[in-house]
A and B are shown apart, each in its own frame.
Chain A
Amino acid sequence: QVQLVQSGAEVKKPGASVKVSCKTSGYTFSGNFIHWVRQAPGQGLEWLGRINPNSGGTDYAQSFQGRVTLTRDTSIATAYMELSRLISDDTGVYYCARADSYYFDNWGQGTLVTVSS
């Protein structure tokens, strides 16, 4: 079955960067876009961007442009999200999600990123 397994929780200082991985299995990695969604504590969902695992092409939310970088390693069917210049408001759970065209059909378990001095 389709699985997306994310890396573990991270604690970072303001100004640092964090890189979260999303290892996929159970399907052809190149066949579906991988998106990243953030959820601040007790808050709603916010779309960060997406990557085409086939071409490596990316689209980013304007509010994260310049700070977020999505990459992938097709040899290990894994997608990555790196967020730089972290501030306290970046604290939250970061999810990867597989898109079946225009909706998310599978989600990772989430990775808690805490930004604290």
Chain B
Amino acid sequence: DIVMTQTPLSSPVILGQPASISCRSSQSLVHSDGNTYLSWLQQRPGQPPRVLIYKISNRFSGVPDRFSGSGAGTDFTLKISRVEAEDVGVYYCMQATQFPWTFGQGTKVEIK
């Protein structure tokens, strides 16, 4: 199975300041079709997860543009340009390149 490792596991941030989460996979996430199926999910307290970013850098419909994704191969990053109160929650990276689909451990973003 592909292991997804996120850092940091906890990220206290000041409102209005940027935040960054890294995700590293144990093997390349480039699919045989040439795409890289790495997505980022946000889970607010008490809610199901929701997708923010898919295929490394594509923002899902309705996701604010302060969220951005980047990376390639085995190293990926989610950035929040200016953290808002509603961004509090746990963020997961997820790979869908190979079965079983696997998730990172999650990074808790909280306001400092």
Interface residues of A (CB under 8 A from B): 35, 37, 44-47, 59, 61-62, 95, 99-100, 102-105, 107-110
Contact A102 B96 (CB under 8 A): yes
Q: Evaluate whether A102 and B55 lie within 8 angstroms (CB atoms) in the complex, with A44-B106, A95-B48, A107-B48 already known.
A: yes
Contact B101 A35 (CB under 8 A): yes
Contact A44 B54 (CB under 8 A): no
Q: Which chain A residues lie closer than 8 Å to B11 at the CB level?
A: none
**B-side interface size class:** 20 to 34
What is the chain B residue whose CB lies nearest that of A105?
B51
* B110: min CB distance to chain A, Å: 15
Contact B48 A45 (CB under 8 A): no
Q: Which chain A residues lie closer than 8 Å to B101 at the CB level?
A: 35, 47
Within 8 Å by CB of B48, from A35, A100, A103, A110, lies: A110
Q: Which chain A residues lie closer than 8 Å to B39 at the CB level?
A: 102-104
1/0 contact trace for B47-89 toward A, CB 8 Å? 0111100110000100000000000000000000000000000
1/0 contact trace for B27-57 toward A, CB 8 Å? 0000100010101010000001111001100
Contact A47 B103 (CB under 8 A): yes
Contact B37 A103 (CB under 8 A): yes
What is the chain B residue whose CB lies nearest that of A4?
B48
A95→B99 CA distance, assembly (Å): 18
Known A45-B106, A104-B94; 5 more pairs at CB < 8 Å: A45-B49, A46-B103, A102-B37, A103-B51, A107-B49
Within 8 Å by CB of B49, from A46, A99, A104, lies: A104
Q: Which chain B residues lie closer than 8 Å to A100 at the CB level?
A: 54
Q: Which chain A residues lie closer than 8 Å to B100 at the CB level?
A: 47, 61-62
Which of A44, A99, A100 counts the most B-chain CB atoms under 10 A from its CB? A44
Within 8 Å by CB of A105, from B31, B60, B96, lies: B60
A46→B101 CA distance, assembly (Å): 8
A46→B100 CA distance, assembly (Å): 9
Closest 3 CB pairs of A and B: A102-B37, A103-B54, A102-B96
Contact A102 B99 (CB under 8 A): no
A40→B33 CA distance, assembly (Å): 33
